[in-house]
Structure 1
Amino acid sequence: MADRYLEYLSREHARLEDKIRQESKRPRPDEVLIARLKKLKLALKDQMQSWAGTRPSPDRLTA
């Protein structure tokens, strides 16, 4: 379940990166939109790190 959620977050992160790239290529990019997309992308990255940190690592020894 957590793997699927992390995959979803990763896809959304990539989608936002693509939107930022597309908007930046426009002759007059919307800087407010770009800033909003970057904040969303950063929030997704934080969420991915949080979810990855809560998952048990396969190399950790369990009691």
Structure 2
Amino acid sequence: MRIIADREACIGAGQCVLSADTVFDQDDDDGRVLLLNERTDSDVSGVEQAVLLCPSQALTLTDD
């Protein structure tokens, strides 16, 4: 599974980090999403939850 994060769309709400802190972090300077792992097969439910909870829809999940 591949995760795509659109930093331009991100508003820094942090729901992704709360849902999957092994995959996402927040930039110390602007609070926007940082991907720790672009591809992951662990914590799939946390990543799916992060995608659903993102208020700016900055996260996308693909199967490639």
Report the TM-score when normalising by structure 2: 0.30
Kindly name which structure, 1 or 2, has the bigger radius of gyration based on alpha carbons.
1
Higher helix proportion, which one?
A: 1
From the two aligned structures, give the one with the greater strand fraction.
2
When the two structures are superposed, what TM-score results if normalisation uses the length of structure 1? 0.30
